[in-house]
Structure 1
Amino acid sequence: MTSAEPVSGPDAALCDALATEYGVVYGYGLVSAYSLPEFNDLVVTTIRQHRERRDQTIAMLTGRSVEVPLAAAGYQVPIPVTTSNDALRLAIRMENDTATAWRAVVEQAREASDREFAATALGQSAVLAAHWNQALDNWPITRAFPGGED
């Protein structure tokens, strides 16, 4: 059963984070296709985390009788990808975008379990962004406050 009411507050933030996860799972298909074989293990680890998080978020929303947004048939990536380095830059961008989405959930969560889930997701995205930054020899490899500009 789903609600016919518009989603707001913490559930809206969860829906937004889910939409971001959908796009990231799609985007990692491009990362996988264009990145060098030496990055295959990192791609596999990363996409597995995002798929698991997507599925857990769907379960959370379903458990609350919140209408779960559907994934789009396709997504426009924020940067063109034609080389392995482009693919790594896309991975970094997606992890930063995901961190931003989960930070919003942390900030809006009313339940401790939601805040814990979102904080874990935020931390995982920050760590993955650091791995991708390291692979691309970017410096610094981390941000002081992942998911934000502060």
Structure 2
Amino acid sequence: MTSPQPQTTPTPSESESARPADPAAAALYDALVTEHATIYGYGIVSAHSTPEDNWLVGQALARHREQRETLIAMLDAQSVQPPLAAPGYQLPSVVNDPTEAATLAVQMENDTAAAWRAVIEQAGAEADRAVAVGALTHSAVLAARWQQVLGVWPVTEAFPGGPE
């Protein structure tokens, strides 16, 4: 997964949006951190994708921005300060060509699927689980589309977002 860089000690204003102790709220918080990183990562994917694949970047970015806004609203409804996006993120691998870009996209979609699966597992509210199921499904579909771009088979996983 992409991670914020550089890692420093939080300032007092950053500690105000500390990760909540409640498992359900913490899962939402973590999902938002992952969505922020994924949106950043898709900027890199876009820069290195072929023109034929850039429609998929646009579709993925729109979906992840939508999910980010949904998560912010969900956290606000629980009176949890949403984490801000970092100014930059450390990518898990070097991206210099379309294949590396598509590989990064698959990894980001798998990361977001894992984050949303955690929301499903921790959420107490049916509405939160429904949102998470939709988001996990979208991440799994996007991962499959990127797998097709890479020519990888099979394009899907039996249980997206998990180790199974």
Q: Which 4+ runs in 1 deviate beyond 3 A? A: 2-7
The residue aligned with 1:12 is: 26
- Distance apart, 1:9 and its partner CA: 1.0
The answer for unaligned runs of 5 or more in structure 2 is: 1-15
- 1:24 pairs with 2:21: no
- Report whether the alignment pairs 1:120 with 2:134: yes
Q: Give the deviation of 1:7 after TM superposition.
A: 3.5
Q: Which residue is 2:161 aligned to?
A: 147
Relative to structure 1, the CA distance from residue 119 to residue 4 in structure 2 (aligned partners, 3 Å threshold; closer, same or farther) is closer
- Counterpart code for 2:95: V
RMSD of aligned Cα (Å): 1.5
What is the match of residue 76 of structure 2?
Answer: 62
Contact 1:35 1:83 in 2 (8 A): yes
Cα distance, 1:65 vs. partner? 1.0
Amino acid in the other structure paired with 1:13? A
Identity of aligned residues (%): 55
Shift of 1:5: 9.1
1:101 is the counterpart of 2:115: yes
| Bigger share in helix | 1
Question: 2-side partners of 1:120 and 1:4: how far apart?
Answer: 26
| Residue identity opposite 1:126 in structure 2 | A
The corresponding residue for 1:42 is 56
Instruction: From the superposition, tell whether residues 53 and 5 of structure 1 become closer, same or farther in structure 2 (CA, over 3 Å).
Output: closer
TM-score by length of 2: 0.87
